[in-house]
């Protein structure tokens, strides 16, 4: 009992000591914690740096071995290419030597053989002589034909001249100029004029005059209609003296085409025509003539018919009826589910709730 009484008496002192010691420990706890964290960070940093250095050494060793392997492979490839090139060069040199020997033998045997060459030259000379004879005969025949054609042309020309000068022929009363009484014999042209026929001038063929019918009379195209005057030839007169412009320049200025302004050239209803043309082109480009009026009360019960370009084999009529992000496993091509690479954006799913009317973030 005495001991319990002593302990009860000392309970207050023990509590004070416990509180004091805990307060002292709390004062130094933060400092000790910072010191421990610093020591641990330094030690862990040393550990990580040592491990990174070890990894660098290992990576360097791996790279060294791998690069050595690649270098040896590349060197082996270079050696194989050099060996193959050297072998091909040797084969080419041997082939060139064989070809050289064979060509030399062939040239000495067949090309530059004296007796064969002599026979060849003799055959060439005989062929040349034959060709020269044929060409000479052809030239003589052509020359004779040209002379014959020339004589025929001269004969036709003399006959034409004789026909033109037939009026110079002698008559019983008056001798011609080629039949002079002072000559013993008449001139050869006199005989030519006696053989030739006189040249008669051709008359113009007068065709039937066009008859003037009732249709031509009504159409004013006949001779009884208004006369049509031909274009008069230009008058060759001297240019006027003085500061006058050239006639061609004056006519060009007088009959130049009209150059209207933009206001005169464009019609008054240009805007109306352009709008009609725009409507016509828009109607031609439309795939369907049915207008798209999904929000009108009159077409509210009608089913929307999408165009052929927007339809597909997966869902041809899904536009405007269901969400684009909806899934239908029955229409999937494969049995596995689709894997989402990126998560969905919460901002897009909450569109209209996080923004104000002015477009600014609340």
pLDDT at 70: 95
Residue 176 pLDDT more than 70? yes
- Is residue 229 helix, strand or coil? coil
pLDDT at 142: 94
pTM of the model as a whole: 0.27
- Select the more confidently predicted residue: 202 or 78: 78
- CA 29 → CA 22, 40, 113, 228, distances in Å? 10, 16, 121, 132
pLDDT at 73: 95
- Give a yes or no: residue 214 inside a domain: no
Residue 360 pLDDT more than 70? no
Weakest-pLDDT range from 2-16, 279-293, 294-308: 294-308
- Give a yes or no: residue 174 inside a domain: yes
- Select the more confidently predicted residue: 265 or 310: 265
Cα(210)–Cα(221) distance, rounded to whole angstroms? 11
Q: Which two tokens stand for residue 44?
A: 């862990």
- Give a yes or no: residue 185 inside a domain: yes
- Give a yes or no: residue 43 inside a domain: no
- Is residue 355 helix, strand or coil? strand
- Give a yes or no: residue 233 inside a domain: no
Rounded mean pLDDT, 29-50? 91
Q: What radius of gyration, in Å, describes the C-alpha atoms of the chain?
A: 62
- Give a yes or no: residue 176 inside a domain: yes
pLDDT at 93: 94
φ/ψ of 102, rounded to 5, equals -65, -40
- Select the more confidently predicted residue: 315 or 272: 272
- Select the more confidently predicted residue: 18 or 346: 18
- Give a yes or no: residue 179 inside a domain: yes
Domain that holds residue 192: 167-196
- Write out pLDDT tens, residues 144-167: 999 999 999 999 998 888 888 888
Alpha carbon distance, N-terminus to C-terminus of the chain: 75
- Give a yes or no: residue 203 inside a domain: no
Cα(64)–Cα(71) distance, rounded to whole angstroms? 10
pLDDT interval class at 87 (50, 70, 90):
very high
pLDDT interval class at 130 (50, 70, 90):
very high
φ/ψ of 120, rounded to 5, equals -65, -45
Rounded mean pLDDT, 307-330? 55
- Write out pLDDT tens, residues 41-56: 999 999 999 999 999 9
- Write out pLDDT tens, residues 209-243: 555 454 444 444 444 444 455 565 555 556 666 66
Cα(237)–Cα(211) distance, rounded to whole angstroms? 41
Question: Nearest-CA neighbor of 345 among 354, 336, 357, 332?
Answer: 354
- Count of domains forming the chain: 1
Weakest-pLDDT range from 61-70, 139-148, 200-209, 246-255: 200-209
Weakest-pLDDT range from 77-81, 222-226, 276-280, 305-309: 222-226
């Amino acid at each position: 009992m005495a001991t319990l009484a002593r302990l009860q008496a000392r309970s207050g002192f023990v509590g004070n000591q416990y509180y004091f010691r805990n307060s002292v420990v709390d004062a130094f706890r933060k400092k000790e914690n910072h010191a421990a964290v610093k020591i641990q960070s330094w030690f862990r940093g040393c550990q990580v740096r040592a491990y990174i250095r070890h990894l660098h050494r290992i990576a360097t060793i791996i790279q060294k071995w791998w690069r050595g392997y690649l270098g040896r492979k590349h060197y082996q490839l270079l050696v194989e290419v050099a060996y193959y090139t050297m072998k091909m060069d040797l084969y080419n040199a041997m082939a060139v030597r064989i070809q050289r020997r064979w060509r030399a033998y062939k040239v000495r045997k067949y090309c530059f053989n004296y007796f064969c060459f002599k026979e060849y030259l003799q055959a060439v000379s005989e062929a040349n002589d034959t060709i020269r004879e044929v060409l000479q005969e052809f030239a003589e025949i052509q020359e004779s034909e040209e002379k014959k054609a020339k004589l025929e042309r001269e004969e036709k020309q003399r006959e034409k001249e004789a026909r033109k000068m037939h009026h110079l022929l002698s008559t019983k009363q008056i001798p011609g100029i080629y039949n002079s009484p002072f000559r013993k014999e008449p001139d050869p042209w006199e005989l030519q004029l006696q053989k030739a026929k006189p040249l008669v001038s051709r008359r113009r063929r007068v065709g039937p005059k066009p008859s003037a019918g009732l249709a031509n009379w009504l159409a004013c195209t006949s001779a009884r209609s208004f006369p049509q005057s031909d274009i008069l030839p230009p008058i060759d007169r001297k240019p006027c003296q003085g500061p006058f412009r050239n006639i061609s320049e004056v006519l060009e200025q007088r009959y130049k085409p009209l150059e209207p302004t933009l206001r005169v050239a464009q019609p008054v209803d240009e805007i109306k025509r352009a709008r009609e043309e725009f409507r016509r082109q828009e109607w031609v480009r439309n795939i369907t003539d049915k207008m798209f009026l999904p929000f009108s009360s009159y077409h509210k019960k009608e089913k929307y018919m999408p165009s052929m370009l927007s339809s597909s084999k997966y869902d041809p009529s899904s536009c405007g009826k269901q969400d684009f992000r909806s899934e239908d496993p029955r229409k999937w091509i494969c049995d596995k589910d689709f894997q989402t690479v990126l998560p969905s954006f919460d901002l897009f799913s909450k569109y209209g709730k996080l923004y104000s009317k002015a477009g600014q973030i609340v």
